[in-house]
Structures are given as structure tokens and as C-alpha cells.
Structure 1
Amino acid sequence: MSKEDGVVESNEPAGGWGSVKGITRISLEASASPSAMDTLRRMNKPGGFMCNSCAWPKPKNYSAFEFCENGAKAVMWELTMDRCTPAFWKEHTVQGLRSWTDHELEKTGRLTQPMRYDPDSDRYEAVDWAIAFNEIARELKALEPESAVFYASGHAGLEASYLYALMARLYGNNNLPQSSNMCHETTSVALKKVIGSPVGTIVWEDLEQTDAFFFFGQNPGTNSPRFLHPLKDAKKRGAKIVTFNPIIEQGLVAFVDPQSPVDMATGHQTKISDQYHQLSAGGDVAAIMGICKHVIDADEAAQRNGDRRIIDVDFIEEHTQGFDSFLDSVKAANWDDIESDSGLSKAALKDAADAYMKAKRVIGVYGMGLTQHTHGSVNVGMLVNLLLLRGNIGKPGAGVCPVRGHSNVQGQRTVGIAEKAELVPMDKLRELYDFEPPTKDGVTIVDMVEGILAGSVKASMCLGGNLLRAVPDQKRIEKAWSRQNLTVMVSTKLNRSHLYPGKAAFILPCLGRAEVDNQASGPQSISTEDSFAMISGSTGHRSPASRYLKSELAIVTGIAKALLPPNPKVKWDKWTADYSLVRDLIEQTYPDDFGDFNKRMFQPGGFYRGIAAHKRNWKTPEKKALFTTPKMMTSRGYDPKPGRYNLLTIRSNDQFNTTIYGYSDRFHGIEGTRDVLLMNPEDIERAGFKKGHVVQLITDLDDGTDRRLGGLVITPFRLPAGTVASYYPECNVLVPVSHHDVLSKTPGSKSIPVRIERESA
């Protein structure tokens, strides 16, 4: 969709008939099973299965259709009737498939049998499960434990995740990086530092009581569409929504509720954002500083006039530390710098500050727009500063709300998939399993990439995901990935990571979450944790795509049994036969979080494992929530210069993470392609480009490596000056492995310095 001036945009609201059409189109594209609709009926409800897409919570009072567009697409994509059988490899070599798109690879259908790579023919061939387990074990036994990495994508349930982490530690390392390393590890590090809890502080009831939502770099329309329902309810009762995002996201503009017959019949739209501030990429520190400056000025005026204070002095004195230093930094901040670095005017930030001061209860919502910068931790700390000013953490209707992207990414951390030894109760593991757990910290994703490039990482196992496509410095890592002694991928569909096999390589196909998981004691259920720290049970009802498929848990225990010496306290076979026994182990390891685990896992809405900061119990060394004093006004970590642009990566509403369902991005007005560069029209003119010019992006960091992505079509778009946008994961080739958050090592994919060059015709 284009306006007369050539700017591409979308006026279509989130939800509505566009959502229905999108689901229908992907259902046909995926050749989805007719049973998929019955699966959707059971989705996110007790006795049914929990969405394998995002981690948005499940309400206690669920609706008849408790799913969103993206969740439905994920189900259709998984319940395809297409199959990628061993016969596929008689026609295709690995090298030949490298020219296929991500979409084409996944369209081949569900994997049906375990496969082993044959380097002589450059093809995968079917292999017996027992042979695969034994050969994987043989390769791992031949290596030093520290040279092997065990990655998890955020999909596997708590039970498989717990045993996966146990297997790695029994093997001898804490090399357990996870997909949060690439998105919300900044949250885990920064929030733990300032409030003592590594996750958000709100629960569902807070959504129903808040007076205002402040959004920073989060897009509910694409990444968590079920969030739009409580936002609609909030607007009905008069709550305000203030949004900060460099790019206009339709889910934060307008919403037509697909659950409402009236809205669907009339096209009635709920306006979501009362204020929408398009700040520069990486300008959040300055923007929040400007809001805080207005709040402090208003508080000082109130004191002069003898009025009630604006800031919550009692809360600050009782519950916080570091306020005086932060106050000094706010007073010292220069408005010229704030406006320049944020890309917003003083007046715009005053409007936001006024909305903040009028609200008694505020929830701060954020996504990767805050976390994926070289100083993303400063962004998170600044948002917490803003909330602390008026006591907006640890009271009803208020708190900090990071929205996680994958269904169990938070839960996997909770049960031990963590590279930091201090995060794991090693004493409990020692007691339960009679071994000495490793105490040396393991590797993050960044460390893993650097290790593969350097040759120190010699084996990798991936429990789900498409890691090779998701990592930074993708082109460099493609060349190095195949030098590993062993690569193991647990997958449901073919993806690009399979096309760069190690010297020994295996694809192990697993059940989908919607499928029946039959073990020796009968059908099994798994559990997951959502963004609000609620634990829910999940039971599949669909017939498996192939009789050869194994559950993620059974694959983990199969490898572990072949790899590790016998231990009378480690009962892989019994745990595989009955997952409730694994939940008992989780409860014994984490008794404060998982009391009565098996009894409570199917209660509506899940059970709350408890977050200390929600009750103003600050588990920091200081036993207080901490104000932090920023040392910079942007989170980018590099300076502006002529010809340098700030690239932020975006997702289409036709994708989930690296999975590309199709080529319709109706929320951005882009159809039929992903090879675009969205750019401010005035920037286009200043640079001497025109709409439709084909260009390449070149990473503008002088580290001796040439990184570029070509074939992108200049597309005028409403963006702040100096900010450009294009799609993830294609742009990962431009992200240096060194370009990451200083504290968390999360790649800086939301502010990448780039130059733009015209490609020759």
C-alpha cells in the first residue's frame, strides 16, 4: 500500500478480517490437516495444549477461541500434511538446497525419520534411532566436555529442558546457551541487577487495574497479538497507552477484535495508542531521560507551591537506593542533547510525562527494541528508573513487563538451562544425583559463535530452533559451522541449519506440541512457563506426523543413556516412561517455585511460581531496588557520522522468529517480498536515491571484516531521519558478533551502523 507521495504504509488495523484471511491463506499454503481447526479449539485452555508460538499468558477466564493469528499460523504450519521423507534426499544434495529460501525449505513438510549426513553423497540418509544415539555419544565421548555446546531454542517443555540441562552437567559442562541470549538476556541481567528478579513483575490482574501502559520497542500486533484484548479492555475503562517505537506498528495503532461479532460486522476499531512517539533507533535512554526531567521539574514546582509531591518520596526512601545520583544526572541532562539523541521534541516528551504523572498505576512494557543494543541494559535500567520515581513496581496495576518471544524461553531458564553456574542450585543437583556438578560458567551464544569461528567449539546440539540462521555474523559462521566434529539438530522441519553439517551430523525429528506423546505409562503432558511466570500444563491430541517421531524428552534421554555412565540415581528410562516423575524432580530441585507441581499444572491460567519483586522483596545485594545513573544518552554504542545510518531489524506478521510462513506483511504494507530497505523519504532524497533503487547495506564498523547484504529495494517509509529498517533474519549477516550488549552479550540487532550503496544495474 502506497500513498501518493510514494511512502509505503498500512492503514489496516490488527485483528479483524485481515487476521482471518491471513490464517486461511497460511492454512492453504501449509496444506494444513483438517484436524487443525479442532486443535485451535483446544489451544491455551486446561486439558488442551499451550501455544508453541509466543509466551503471552493464558487468562483464567478463557474465551471460546483463545488463540491469535500468529498462534494459529504456527499450528497450521506444524500440522501440515506435507512430509519431508528420506526419499526427498534422493533428489537433493545439501549443497543444492543452499539456494532455497527459508520458506521453501520449511515448505517441504514435517521430517519423518532420523537422518545422518553422508559426506560422500552430500545427502542425508535414514538411520535407526539407536544407531544415531550411539554415534552421537561416541563423538561426544571423544571430545573434551568444554568443547561441546548444548543449545535450546525456547520451545521444549520444562520436563525435557530440565533433563537436557542435567545431561549437559553430567557430561561435564555448563555450556547451555539459549535463545534468550539473542533477545531477552538483557532483561535477565539488567532486571536482576536493579530489582533482584530476572523477569517481569506483573500478573494478569495488573493488566485489569492499570491506568497507563508505556510501550518501548514492543509490537503486540505481530509478536503477542493476544495482548491486544487486555489493551482494548484498558482503553474501554479510560487507561492511556503511550508508545515509543521508531516504526509505526499497526497493533499499537488500531485493533478490530476478532472475538467481537459487533466489531467484525461493523469494522469498529479500538484506537490503541493515545500517543505514538517515533524516536530514533537507540534513542530510548534520552527519551526516558526527558520524561524523567519533566517529572522532576514538576515535583520541584509542587514543592515550591506547597502542593503534593509528584514523585513517591516514601517509596523511594523505603525501597530504593541511588536516587540522589540519578537525580543529579537528570538535572545535568541538556535538552539539546535529549532532543538530538532521542529524535523527539521537548514538547512531545512533556506530553508523555504528563500522561505518566496523571496515572496512579503504570505498567512499562518492552521488547527487543530495548534489549538488542550495545547498551540495552542501560535502556532497561532507565525504564526501571522511570517506574521507581512514582512507586510503579510492586503495587496492583503497576510494574515492569518484558514480553518474551518464545513459548517456554523463560521456563527453560527457570529449570536450569543457563550458562551461569550461580543461577543453578548445584547443591540440590549434587544431593539428588550424587555427582559433582561443574562450577565453571559455560558459553553464551556470542561465546559459542566466537568459539566456532576459532575452532574451540567442536560439537553442538540444538534442542529445536534454526540457530545458524539466528546468530550474528551469519555468513562467517556458515563457513565455520561445518568444521565441527559433530552437529545434532532436534527439529520438526527442514531449515538452513541442516545445510551446513559437521563432520558427523544428525537431524533428529521430534513430535510437535499438538501431537500425542505416548510413552510406557500412557499419554504424557508437558508444562511451560509464560511471560508472567505462570506454569501451565499442555497435552497434545493430534496423531503424530510419523510413527518414527520421538518426543524431545525421549530424544534427550536416548542420547544421555548412550553417553553417560550408569548412575543408580539417574533413571532415564523411568523418567521417559512417566513425565510426572520428572516434574517431581523439578519440584525437589526448585521447591519454592514448583510446590505441588503435578497437582497444580492444569489449573486455569496456570499456577504462579512467584516473583519476589512483585511483592517489593528486592533480592539485590543492597536489598533495595536500584536507581541507575546512565553514562550515555543513547544505547547504540557508536557515534553518528556522515553517511552512517542506524539499521533496525523488523519482523513480518507472516513470520515467527526465523520461520517464514509467507510473504504478506500487511502491517507494514509490504507484499510479495522481503528484499526491501525501508527508509525516510527525506533521507532518500538527501542520499541521491530514488524509490525502487536496488542497494546494498554495508556494516559501518572498522573491524577488518566486510559484511554486506545486497538486492534490497529502496522503499519510502515513515521512519525517523537516520533510521532504516529491514527484515530479520536476513540482516543477521550485518551484525558483527562483537556488536552486543556490554553486560548480557545480546546481539545489537536494533541499532546496527550501516552505509548504503547503489548496486549497479
Structure 2
Amino acid sequence: MAESDNAVRKNAAYPYSSGGWGSLRAVTGALVKEKVPLKASTVLLKQNKPDGFACVSCSWAKPADPHMFEFCESGAKATAWDLTAKRMTPQFFELHTVTELCAWHDHDLEDAGRLTAPLRYDAASDKYVSVTWQEAFEDIGRELRAFDPEGVVFYASGRASLETSYMYQLFARMYGTNNLPDSSNMCHESTSVGLTAAIGVGVGTVQLDDFEKTDLMFFFGQNVGTNSPRMLHPLQEARKRGVPIITFNPLREPGLLKFANPQSPVEMMTPAHTLISTQYHQVKTGGDTAAMLGICKAVIHADDHAKAHGEPRILDVDFIETHTKGFEAFAEYVRAASWEDIERVAGLPRADLEAAAAEYMRANAVMAHYGMGITQHRQGVQNVRMLCNLLFLRGNVGKPGAGPSPVRGHSNVQGQRTVGITEKPELAPLDKLASQFHFEPPREKGMNTVEAFEAMLDGKVSAVVNLGGNLVRSVPDRLRIEPAWRGLKLTVNVATKLNRSHLVHGEKSYILPCLSRIEIDTQASGPQAVSMEDSTGCIHGSRGVAEPASLDARSEPYIVAELAKHTLGERSTVDWDRWRGDYALVRDEIAKTYPETFHDFNARMWTPGGFPRNLPARERKWETKSGKAEFFVPETIGEDPDMPEREPQSLRLMTLRSDSQFNTTIYSHDDRFRGISGGRMVIMMCEADLKRHGLRKDDRVTLQTIADDGFERRVAGLRVQPYDIPEGCIAGYYPECNPLLPLWHHAKESKVPGAKSIPVEIVEVNGAARAP
């Protein structure tokens, strides 16, 4: 099969394959930097193994028959970050005020090491001071009892286990609120909304064995090389079988171009590598709906021609007639769409989209992988629905080797939703919880992440409990949010390391150090295990294997149980002490609440490869409003009709992560894959835009958001870096560019922040103002 010329063109920033010696050097460097002893480094051999621990980084699937080294560069860095020999003891906080620490870089805060003891903010000294666990739990419980539950937010990071998440949501609901935002609100809520409407389940339908049966893969807005590198193994195997991979992504990313497997002696000792993408289309930022519309248009046109000439149909007519609703309205919309509009918005020529369609029409089983490049848009839900439209045309849902495949970031963000972490009461089994635990759960809708910050700006939030994460740093409109956060009465942070959210504190603030999932967790009944759900909807057990960083750290289930006990008191019908001492009891209760997925939970959690959750759409059972898979007619093919742009100076900014980053955790200031070093205050821009704006490499610019809402949003000191990205589009790092993202600039139906498409303009160059 001939490879497309645009797929094999080298990336000048990083001309080598992803994986290979570069990854091995990076892993070794991370272990050395964190002073991880040789004995502790062998922990990596247990990572993502059926009898070991689930990676604390990405949520990609764990195979039943794992490789010897079943970890990637990103996962190894995350493990080294947790296994670090560095410690932040109470003595550290005696030496540093919070005001001083606020001036530290995010990397340096976490790089200082693991937290070792519970801490309370002391306003008189402007320092965190050591307290006992009992003092912390009693004071936090007393404070929470004094608040109206509607004004308290229980945020959950995606790293907490299924057991912890179940306990946490039960605690919040017994307390009296559905304010349970989580990191899914920030990334894949567009998936939850879009897939639920289209196929009746809010998660993907692809599992690992589908990779062996697929004929074609699409990638939309997902950088596998940095966000889920272990996925490169099944991609490599598929490519060796001749499976085409068609990628749509604004930037040319090395991980989507070629891969040298570090576990292959041949590929490590020779220039050998595997070409990943056979077609690589640099769609304009925000042009995904248009690109998918172009493919659909080519497919429907080919089918119309076949039908008119009595030739075999291109569409899967039986699937469409039996299993779907709304095809005719969608087909009419597609036929009426103009190629001129599609090419303009997608930034791609018709010939490229027809080439992608030709591959699609030749394949019998097609899966579509996507990430936040699809979901973090004003039209994020529409993007997900369009991807489903494309798959429906040829029956590519509910059959082997096919289906939508949203690739999640956080290691258990998908699983948290499965066990009740949601602000939407209709998605939680409230009646079941009521009968199971003999209380009346709140029925009012809670606040998602954006709504929580809107309420905070309005002075309607009293307290935030953070189960992990770095919410202050990850939120949009950070320069508006931070003063509101400081006005809170109480902030509680469960964490392994210090981060910005602990320093931008409320009137009362606690930091509660927890064990990492990697560490041995011993409770009253003995060593404990927890469980997670991966991106493919499979549930895995996880058992810590390293010694705890501190004898005074506590497990997440322990901390949640104690917070619940000290807050709820006699109101609670749960024996939190028993749950804290034996997590198997928690799993028994999860099985009662969700019997279809979690029956025999304790017996099945160590199944190699995990056990799958109940996903009716895999069997073509559609739990939608109509009882069928639903086609969708797009509202618009443009990105954001509600936000003004000013031509010709406007640019569309997408924020992204580096190869040495996991969400807000930054392992290094450099981005090896993109060839960027010397700091993260960088803007990537194509040569044509450099020329149009009169800029040169390493110029320093100030960006300002184009928005007519009365707020000025600027980020200064951004170094210009030439990069292969479509004209009119630029890229900068998250979270450094978050101040440019308005809180209200979110996906319409899901409220996922539109971080992948922010209209901006350059207002200063090298300190001098630009003429308007």
C-alpha cells in the first residue's frame, strides 16, 4: 500500500521516532533526578501488570498478556515522581511562607518532594503548620457542618480509585449535595454527553481485542505519543498487518508519525521504525466537524452514484435502516453542504478528504480514536456527534474491530463516573443509594466545574474539598478565579505533593497527605488493594508494592472515611471504620449498587486484562431516547459563532501539553518531541504567520483574548517558536495560557472549557505595543 506523502514528511523539530533511545534516556534521567534507588526502580516491573499496580498516569488499557516493561516514558516519569526520595516535612514549611512559595514555579513546588504530615494554614505566620490527623478531621468536620451543603463543592481528580470515588460521592450525598464536579468536566464531558445521545452510553465501545480485527483507524485531536504512549504497541501491530491509520491533527506530532519500540532489539539497534500515520491531515484548529463532514459527503456521494447505477451500495443500508434514526435529515444536510465551505473551515483540500473517504469506504471495520482536540471546543459535543455520524454510515459501531474510542487522560476519570461521581442526579442511582443506605439523597442538580467557579465568583461557594488535583491551576480565567478562591471559608486538599491550589488558600486551609497508589496500603484487615476503570471500559485491580513515603501519610479511602465520619456523625448509616479497614466491604456495596457491571467484584477484579463494564452499544442495544443510534444534523461547521474575531490580526490559540507533563504536573521545562527547550512560555506559529505579523524566532509577544465581555485577558513574555501548524492557528502550553481562556468559553451542552480554540491577537512585541 502506498504511503501518503504528507504522512512521511519529517518533523523538523524532532526528526526521530517516538519511543526508542530518546524515551529510554528520559526514563533513566527521571529516575536519577528523583533519586530513586535501584531497588525501588524495579517497581516499574509491576506497573500495569495483573498482579501489580495501575499506572498513576494515563488510563490506557492494561493487556491480559503484558510486555515485560508494560510502561511508557510518561508512566515511568509519573512513577518516579511518586517514588522520589525528596520529602516536604513540617520543617520545610517552617522555613518558607506561603507568600514566598507562591513565587515558585509549578515544577519546583512538586519537585520539592512528597508531603509527609497533615498541615493547617496559619494566617499569623503565613505558613502551613503541622497538626495531628485527629485535629484536622475534627476541625474540618466542624466547619463543614456549619455550611449550607449547597455552597460546598466536592471536587475529584481522576486518579482516585473506584473504592475512594464511591465513598466520596456517598459522603457528599449524605452531607446533602450533588456538587460533585471532577476532571471529566474539564476534558471528556463532551464525550459523555455526545456519545450518550448518539449510542446510549457515555464511553467508547472499543476494547483491546478490537485492534486485532480492525481494518482502519482514524485519529482526531489525540496525540498518542505523549498522552497514551502504551497505545503505540497495538498501533504498531496493526500497522504491521497493513491497517491504514488516518490522522487529523493541527500540529505534526512525532508520536503520530513513527514509532521505534524500546522493547524491540531490532528497532533499538537499527534505524528501523514503524510508520504510524499513513495519511496525516493538518486540519485547522476548530475544523474537525468540517473535515468529518467532507468525508461523509464523499461517502454519501459515492453511495448515491452506486445506487443510481445499480452497483453495490457503499453505505451499510441494513444497519442504517435497522439500527438508526435521522439518516435522511443528515444525508440531506450533507448533500447541500458546499465543498468551498468545507475546505475553508477545515483548512484542507477536497482531494485530501476524498482520499480519507476512499480508505474508509474500502474498510469493513473502522475505529475512531479521539481526545481533547475534539472535546475542548465550543462545538465539542457536535464534534463527538459528527464522529458518530461518520461511523454510522458504514455500520462501524457494535461490531468487532469498530467503534468510537475516546482516549482518556486521568487514570480513573472514566471509572469515577461509573461509580457515581457526577453532578447530574439523573446519572446517579439515587433510588438505589436511598434504599441501600437508608437516607434521602439530594435530587437537585449539582454544580460542574465551570458552574462551581461561576458560583465562586458570585460569592455562593463557602468551601471546596479537593480529592487530588490542582484545580486552581487548571481552571480557565485563572486571574479572575484566584481572588475568588482566596475568599472561601475553607479549602481542604488531599494530595501527595504541594501544588498551586494549596497556596491559593481559603480562610481556613488544610493539606492532607495521602499514599500514592504505588505504595503498600495496610489497614486493619491487612494489605489493601483498589481498582480502576481504563479507557476501554475494563476494570482492573491494583496493589501497591513500594514502601510508603511517610508513616504519617494516610490512604485516600482512610481520609474520605474519616472526613465523612467527623462531618456526618450520627446522621450516617455507614460504618466508615469498617470500610476504612477493609476495602473489600466497599466493593461489596458497589456490587449491590451496580450489579450489572460489578457482580462478584472481589472475585473478578484480578482478571487478567480486567473485566468489562456493561456496554449495551457493543451489542447494538441502544439506550437512547428513540431506542436507536441517532444521526445528528450539525448546528454549524464553524468553530465559534459567539466569539468575535478581528481579521487579519486574529489568531486561534490551542493549549496543549508537553512530552514531560501530566495534566498540571510538569516534570521538565523542555518539550523534547517538539524540539522546544529553555522554558514553557512559548507560542508555536507557522512561518507564514511569522511573516504576516512581522515576527522573528525568539521574539517575545503578549497575547490578548478577543472577547467583548469587559474583561482584559493577557499573557505576556511568550517566546515565538516556528512550528508546523496551519496558518491562522497557534499553540501554547497549558496551564500557562489558561488566563486567556474565558470561563464562559465552553462547549455548549457539556460546559467543557474551549481550551483548544481561543481567538487571540498579538498586542505587544518585545515590550512595544502594536498599532490596532
One-letter amino acid of the structure 2 residue matched with residue 594 of structure 1: F
2:78 match: 74
List aligned pairs for 1:722-741, cutoff 5 A.
722-741=728-747
Q: 2:597 aligns with which of 593, 596, 599?
A: 593
1:374 match: 378
Per the TM alignment, residue 650 of structure 1 is displaced from its structure 2 partner at its CA by 1.2
Per the TM alignment, residue 609 of structure 1 is displaced from its structure 2 partner at its CA by 1.4
Q: Secondary structure at the match of 2:121?
A: strand
One-letter amino acid of the structure 1 residue matched with residue 437 of structure 2: Y
2:492 match: 488
2:3 match: none
1:179 match: 183
CA gap of 1:22–1:417, structure 2 versus 1, over 3 A, is same
Q: 1:127 aligns with which of 124, 131, 149?
A: 131
Q: Secondary structure at the match of 1:316?
A: helix
CA gap of 1:111–1:377, structure 2 versus 1, over 3 A, is same
Per the TM alignment, residue 305 of structure 1 is displaced from its structure 2 partner at its CA by 2.4
Does residue 89 of the first structure (1) align with residue 93 of the second (2)? yes
Does residue 283 of the first structure (1) align with residue 287 of the second (2)? yes
Q: In the aligned structure 1, how far is the partner of 2:705 from the partner of 2:338?
A: 31
2:522 match: 518
List aligned pairs for 1:255-274, cutoff 5 A.
255-274=259-278
Contact 2:538 2:609 in 1 (8 A): yes
The list of structure 1 runs, each at least 4 consecutive aligned residues, that deviate by more than 6 angstroms after superposition, is none
Q: Secondary structure at the match of 2:414?
A: helix
CA gap of 1:568–1:488, structure 2 versus 1, over 3 A, is closer
Question: C-alpha offsets along residues 437-487 of structure 1, whole Å, 9 cap, x if unaligned?
Answer: 000010000001111111101100000011100111111111111100000
1:501 match: 505
Q: In the aligned structure 2, how far is the partner of 1:343 from the partner of 1:522?
A: 59
List aligned pairs for 1:47-66, cutoff 5 A.
47-66=51-70
Does residue 213 of the first structure (1) align with residue 217 of the second (2)? yes
Which ranges of structure 2 fall in alignment gaps of 5 or more residues?
A: 1-10
Q: Secondary structure at the match of 1:73?
A: helix
Per the TM alignment, residue 10 of structure 1 is displaced from its structure 2 partner at its CA by 1.4
List aligned pairs for 1:29-48, cutoff 5 A.
29-48=33-52
Q: In the aligned structure 1, how far is the partner of 2:217 from the partner of 2:640?
A: 25
Q: In the aligned structure 2, how far is the partner of 1:324 from the partner of 1:594?
A: 39
Does residue 641 of the first structure (1) align with residue 646 of the second (2)? yes
Q: Secondary structure at the match of 2:589?
A: helix
Contact 1:446 1:737 in 2 (8 A): yes
Q: In the aligned structure 2, how far is the partner of 1:562 from the partner of 1:61?
A: 44
Does residue 159 of the first structure (1) align with residue 166 of the second (2)? no
Per the TM alignment, residue 641 of structure 1 is displaced from its structure 2 partner at its CA by 3.0
Per the TM alignment, residue 302 of structure 1 is displaced from its structure 2 partner at its CA by 1.1
One-letter amino acid of the structure 2 residue matched with residue 102 of structure 1: D
Does residue 666 of the first structure (1) align with residue 672 of the second (2)? yes
Per the TM alignment, residue 267 of structure 1 is displaced from its structure 2 partner at its CA by 3.0
Per the TM alignment, residue 692 of structure 1 is displaced from its structure 2 partner at its CA by 1.5
Q: 1:708 aligns with which of 699, 709, 714?
A: 714
List aligned pairs for 1:535-546, cutoff 5 A.
535-546=539-550
Per the TM alignment, residue 663 of structure 1 is displaced from its structure 2 partner at its CA by 2.1
Q: In the aligned structure 2, how far is the partner of 1:452 from the partner of 1:180?
A: 19
The number of residues matched between the two structures is 755
Percent of aligned positions that are identical: 54
2:407 match: 403
List aligned pairs for 1:736-755, cutoff 5 A.
736-755=742-761
Q: 1:760 aligns with which of 730, 745, 767?
A: 767
Q: In the aligned structure 2, how far is the partner of 1:110 from the partner of 1:612?
A: 42
Contact 1:587 1:596 in 2 (8 A): yes
One-letter amino acid of the structure 2 residue matched with residue 677 of structure 1: I
CA gap of 1:219–1:172, structure 2 versus 1, over 3 A, is same
Per the TM alignment, residue 31 of structure 1 is displaced from its structure 2 partner at its CA by 2.1
Does residue 146 of the first structure (1) align with residue 150 of the second (2)? yes
List aligned pairs for 1:606-617, cutoff 5 A.
606-617=610-621
Q: Tell me the TM-score normalised to structure 1 length.
A: 0.98
Q: Secondary structure at the match of 1:634?
A: coil
Does residue 571 of the first structure (1) align with residue 575 of the second (2)? yes
Q: 2:345 aligns with which of 341, 345, 352?
A: 341
Contact 1:378 1:630 in 2 (8 A): yes
One-letter amino acid of the structure 2 residue matched with residue 711 of structure 1: G
Q: Tell me the TM-score normalised to structure 2 length.
A: 0.97
Per the TM alignment, residue 634 of structure 1 is displaced from its structure 2 partner at its CA by 2.4
Q: In the aligned structure 2, how far is the partner of 1:11 from the partner of 1:678?
A: 17
1:199 match: 203
One-letter amino acid of the structure 2 residue matched with residue 59 of structure 1: P
Contact 2:43 2:545 in 1 (8 A): yes
Per the TM alignment, residue 8 of structure 1 is displaced from its structure 2 partner at its CA by 6.1
List aligned pairs for 1:651-662, cutoff 5 A.
651-662=657-668
List aligned pairs for 1:363-442, cutoff 5 A.
363-442=367-446
Q: Secondary structure at the match of 1:713?
A: strand
2:354 match: 350
Q: Secondary structure at the match of 2:717?
A: strand
Larger mean CA deviation between 751-760 and 251-260 belongs to: 751-760
Q: In the aligned structure 2, how far is the partner of 1:607 from the partner of 1:338?
A: 42
Q: Secondary structure at the match of 2:342?
A: helix
Larger mean CA deviation between 309-318 and 260-269 belongs to: 260-269
Question: C-alpha offsets along residues 526-559 of structure 1, whole Å, 9 cap, x if unaligned?
Answer: 0000011100000001111011000000000111
1:690 match: 696
2:105 match: 101
Per the TM alignment, residue 28 of structure 1 is displaced from its structure 2 partner at its CA by 2.1
Contact 1:33 1:76 in 2 (8 A): no
Per the TM alignment, residue 202 of structure 1 is displaced from its structure 2 partner at its CA by 1.1
Q: In the aligned structure 2, how far is the partner of 1:520 from the partner of 1:574?
A: 9
Contact 1:378 1:635 in 2 (8 A): no
Q: Secondary structure at the match of 1:38?
A: helix
1:3 match: none
Per the TM alignment, residue 314 of structure 1 is displaced from its structure 2 partner at its CA by 0.6
Q: 1:137 aligns with which of 138, 141, 146?
A: 141
Q: In the aligned structure 2, how far is the partner of 1:35 from the partner of 1:209?
A: 40
Per the TM alignment, residue 639 of structure 1 is displaced from its structure 2 partner at its CA by 5.3
Per the TM alignment, residue 568 of structure 1 is displaced from its structure 2 partner at its CA by 7.2
Q: In the aligned structure 2, how far is the partner of 1:523 from the partner of 1:274?
A: 48
Which ranges of structure 1 fall in alignment gaps of 5 or more residues?
A: 1-6
Question: C-alpha offsets along residues 58-77 of structure 1, whole Å, 9 cap, x if unaligned?
Answer: 11111111111100000000
One-letter amino acid of the structure 2 residue matched with residue 614 of structure 1: R
Q: In the aligned structure 1, how far is the partner of 2:318 from the partner of 2:673?
A: 44
Q: 1:247 aligns with which of 241, 248, 251?
A: 251
Q: Secondary structure at the match of 1:689?
A: coil
Q: Secondary structure at the match of 1:672?
A: coil
Q: In the aligned structure 2, how far is the partner of 1:102 from the partner of 1:213?
A: 37
Q: Secondary structure at the match of 2:653?
A: strand
One-letter amino acid of the structure 1 residue matched with residue 727 of structure 2: A
Question: C-alpha offsets along residues 202-223 of structure 1, whole Å, 9 cap, x if unaligned?
Answer: 1111111101110000011000
One-letter amino acid of the structure 1 residue matched with residue 254 of structure 2: Q
1:527 match: 531
Per the TM alignment, residue 640 of structure 1 is displaced from its structure 2 partner at its CA by 4.4
